[in-house]
């Protein structure tokens, strides 16, 4: 595939970790692999899941656990998904409002929760990007480690990533877990404080992936291999420090992330793209453990078989071999 003859439509969410798609489009890596790719910004992860499942878009920038949930029929009608490429490590942050950060000064969150309950105040409200996401599982683990029941002691809701900072500023939520640049934007605006970064909790942990349906992978093996190669080349370009200012400028455009370029550039620090690459079986197994822990799926007879069906390292190896 040396000419741009294969047209594809890929969805993405306005986050720093859509960087590989944007770089592949704007720097010619898709074209070099014979692909004519249209990037479509979607408002939510549910839109991404549903449009890929329905074939309205060919694939997307996806949450690393989304393909497992879709394949199992958790939260939506079952649709087998394939994830042959990890797009990044790191980027997610746990952020609270400045008011909650001040209330937590010198004491634990559970003390704040108990004090609010004693004063008959509403429970604290935290937002995550999607029920089946590392953001949800990291937030729940953080709460549980402090003796807080995420299902009883606080209120959890789902909010699209680009709306997190504005909801925090408006006082509609007290904290959130989402990818950059929205945590850094909240800090820069003085409405939020980053408490933890995913890189501090799980160095090299999973975040986003390239996701397509199993049907697409079987019907379009050459196009999928070309996508993997193009995105890998884009990741190599994006990881070079000298390219980060240009990458930030690309992401800052209105059609992509549409956030201040200086916030994007600073919040790209620590993110890794090319190193993510090959899907990791253990990451998928961890996600299934979390889904079972929080009652999202029933006990599974053979979790490894499900992960191997979705996390297709063999497709990655074949494309780059």
Looking at residue 80, which CATH number applies to its domain?
3.40.190.10
Asked if 292 and 149 sit in the same domain, the reply is no
Query: Comparing 9 with 205, which gets the higher pLDDT?
Result: 9
Asked if 81 and 136 sit in the same domain, the reply is no
Alpha carbons 154 and 84: distance in angstroms, whole number = 36
**Would 231 be classed as within a structural domain?**
yes
Provide the pLDDT confidence category of residue 232 given band limits of 50, 70 and 90. Answer: very high
Asked if 215 and 314 sit in the same domain, the reply is yes
Asked if 263 and 290 sit in the same domain, the reply is yes
Beta strands per DSSP E along 56-207: 59-63, 81-86, 92-97, 125-128, 155-158, 175-179, 192-197
Alpha carbons 73 and 307: distance in angstroms, whole number = 14
Q: What share of the chain is helix, strand, coil (3-state, %, to 5)?
A: 45, 20, 35
Residue 91: the pLDDT is 87
Provide the pLDDT confidence category of residue 4 given band limits of 50, 70 and 90. Answer: very low
Residue 205: the pLDDT is 87
Q: What percent of the chain has pLDDT over 70?
A: 99
CB atoms within 10 A of CB 24: 28
Q: Which of 128, 103, 126, 99 is nearest to 114 (CA)?
A: 103
Report how many domains make up the chain: 2
Asked if 215 and 311 sit in the same domain, the reply is yes
Q: Which of 151, 185, 201 is the last residue of a domain?
A: 201
Residue 2: the pLDDT is 45
Residue 99: the pLDDT is 97
CB atoms within 10 A of CB 114: 14
**Would 232 be classed as within a structural domain?**
yes
Q: Which of 153, 179, 201 is the last residue of a domain?
A: 201
pLDDT tens, position by position, 6-62: 999 999 999 999 999 999 999 999 999 999 999 999 999 999 999 999 999 999 999
Q: Which of 274, 271, 270 is nearest to 316 (CA)?
A: 274
Alpha carbons 25 and 36: distance in angstroms, whole number = 9
CB atoms within 10 A of CB 43: 13
Asked if 209 and 308 sit in the same domain, the reply is yes
Enclosing domain of residue 112: 92-201
∠ CA(235), CA(27), CA(266), 5° rounding? 55
| β-pair type (175-179, 125-128) | parallel
**Would 1 be classed as within a structural domain?**
no
Provide the pLDDT confidence category of residue 312 given band limits of 50, 70 and 90. Answer: very high
Residue 5: the pLDDT is 72
Is a pLDDT exceeding 90 seen at residue 3?
no
| Torsions phi, psi for 202 (to 5 deg) | -145, 85
Asked if 183 and 226 sit in the same domain, the reply is no
With residue 37 as reference, give the H or E element that holds it: strand 35-41
Asked if 98 and 84 sit in the same domain, the reply is no
pLDDT tens, position by position, 156-195: 999 999 999 999 999 999 999 999 999 999 999 999 999 9
pLDDT tens, position by position, 122-168: 999 999 999 999 999 999 999 999 999 999 999 999 999 999 999 99
Query: Comparing 225 with 2, which gets the higher pLDDT?
Result: 225
Asked if 223 and 98 sit in the same domain, the reply is no
**Would 253 be classed as within a structural domain?**
yes
pLDDT, the chain, mean: 96
Asked if 254 and 124 sit in the same domain, the reply is no
Alpha carbons 139 and 126: distance in angstroms, whole number = 9
Asked if 96 and 109 sit in the same domain, the reply is yes
Give mean pLDDT, residues 233-257. 98
228 to 62, 81, 283: CA distances (angstroms): 14, 16, 19
For 122-155, the DSSP string reads PPPEEEES-SSSHHHHHHHHHHHHTT--TTTTSE
Is a pLDDT exceeding 50 seen at residue 1?
no
Q: Which of 130, 259, 138 is nearest to 199 (CA)?
A: 138
Q: What is the DSSP letter of 258?
A: -
Residue 152: the pLDDT is 96
Asked if 210 and 312 sit in the same domain, the reply is yes
Q: Which of 178, 201, 224 is the last residue of a domain?
A: 201
Is a pLDDT exceeding 90 seen at residue 119?
yes
pTM, two decimal places = 0.96
Q: Is 58 left (phi over 0), alpha (psi -120 to 50) or beta?
A: alpha
Please name the residues in contact with 293: beta carbons below 8 A apart, sequence gap of 6 or more. none
């Amino acid at each position: 595939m040396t000419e741009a003859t294969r047209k594809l439509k890929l969805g993405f969410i306005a986050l720093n970790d859509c960087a590989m798609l944007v770089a592949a489009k704007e720097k010619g890596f898709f074209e070099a692999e014979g692909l004519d790719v249209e990037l479509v910004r979607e408002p939510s992860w549910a839109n991404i899941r549903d449009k890929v499942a329905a074939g309205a878009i060919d694939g997307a920038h996806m949450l690393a656990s989304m393909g497992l949930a879709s394949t199992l029929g958790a939260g939506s009608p079952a649709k087998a998904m394939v994830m042959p490429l990890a797009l990044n490590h790191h980027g997610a942050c746990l952020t609270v409002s400045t008011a909650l950060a001040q209330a937590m000064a010198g004491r634990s969150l559970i003390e704040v929760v108990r004090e609010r309950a004693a004063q008959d105040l509403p429970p604290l409200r935290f937002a995550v990007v999607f029920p089946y996401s590392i953001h949800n599982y990291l937030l729940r683990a953080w709460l549980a480690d402090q003796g807080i029941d995420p299902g009883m002691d606080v209120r959890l809701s789902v909010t699209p990533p680009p709306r997190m900072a504005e909801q925090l500023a408006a006082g509609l939520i007290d904290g959130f877990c989402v990818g950059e640049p929205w945590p850094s934007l909240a800090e820069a605006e003085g409405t939020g404080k980053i408490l933890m970064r995913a890189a501090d909790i799980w160095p090299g942990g999973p975040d986003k992936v390239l996701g397509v349906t199993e049907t697409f992978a079987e019907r379009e093996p050459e196009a999928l291999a070309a996508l993997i190669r193009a995105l890998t080349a884009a990741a190599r370009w994006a990881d070079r420090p000298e390219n980060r200012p240009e990458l930030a400028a690309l992401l800052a455009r209105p059609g992509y992330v549409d956030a201040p370029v200086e916030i994007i550039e600073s919040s790209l620090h620590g993110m890794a793209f090319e190193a993510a690459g090959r899907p990791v079986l253990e990451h998928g197994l961890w996600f299934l453990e979390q889904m079972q822990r929080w009652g999202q799926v029933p006990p599974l007879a053979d979790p490894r078989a499900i992960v191997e069906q979705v996390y297709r390292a063999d497709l990655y190896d074949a494309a780059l071999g």
